[in-house]
Amino acid sequence: MDIPTIINTILAILSFFLAFTSIIFVVMTIKQNNKMIEESTRPYIGIYGDGTYIKNPNFYLIIKNFGQSSATIQSFNSSMDLSKCSFNNQGEYAFSSIINTTLMPGQSLHTYIDYETALSLSDHICFNIGYTSKTHKYEETIYLNLKVILGNFVTHSENPNQELKIISETLQDAYIHSL
């Protein structure tokens, strides 16, 4: 073999490896971009507690979609028997009918929890929630420490003849918590 043929063969082999390497990098970049797009547009379901103190402590358990797309709840389990510390007017316990509920971005659902009863059962609740978007299935485990909330109740005035002040503070508190 003459020298120009050897050089052309070596250059052809190097060109092939460079092209192959470039294709691998492009595929990896596309996968990473898809992952970043998924992370920025997916639903994120969170569960947290919030409380106010207007004559009595009131504690609410809140499920919210913090993500950018809708989520349909497929499973919901908690380490605490919520039927022992929460009931609505129809006698159903907290989130007993939440399966197959779709939460839009920013939407939240809340329910009243008897805080003292909940604390007597346990000082924390572990939630397992499964939900789907249009294309993916997600599962979250969320730990809620009930004792942390104890010192964070928002208190309101209880003075007689100051009902308007109580109403005003309550409305302001509700507005702040809706943000």
Per-residue pLDDT averaged across 28-43, rounded?
A: 89
Q: Which of 70-79, 80-89, 102-111, 155-164 has the lowest mean pLDDT?
A: 155-164
Name the pLDDT band for 117 (thresholds 50, 70, 90). Answer: confident
Write down the pLDDT at residue 50: 82
Would you say the C-alpha torsion 13, 14, 17, 18 has a positive or negative sign? negative
At residue 173, does pLDDT exceed 80?
no
Write down the pLDDT at residue 150: 66
Sequence-ordered list of residues with C-beta below 8 angstroms from that of 151, at least 6 positions apart, any chain? none
Name the pLDDT band for 155 (thresholds 50, 70, 90). Answer: low
Name the pLDDT band for 141 (thresholds 50, 70, 90). Answer: very high
Write down the pLDDT at residue 45: 96
pLDDT in tens, 41-72: 899 999 998 877 666 677 888 999 999 999 99
Count, in order, helices (H) and strands (E) of the chain. Answer: 4, 8
**Higher per-residue confidence, 95 vs 130:** 130
Return contacts of 87-92, CB within 8 angstroms, 24+ apart. Answer: 88/112
Write down the pLDDT at residue 18: 93
Write down the pLDDT at residue 90: 58
Give the helix ranges, DSSP H, for the chain.
3-41, 115-121, 146-150, 163-178
Write down the pLDDT at residue 79: 92
At residue 89, does pLDDT exceed 60?
no
**Higher per-residue confidence, 71 vs 35:** 71
CA angle 66, 139, 119 (to 5 degrees): 75
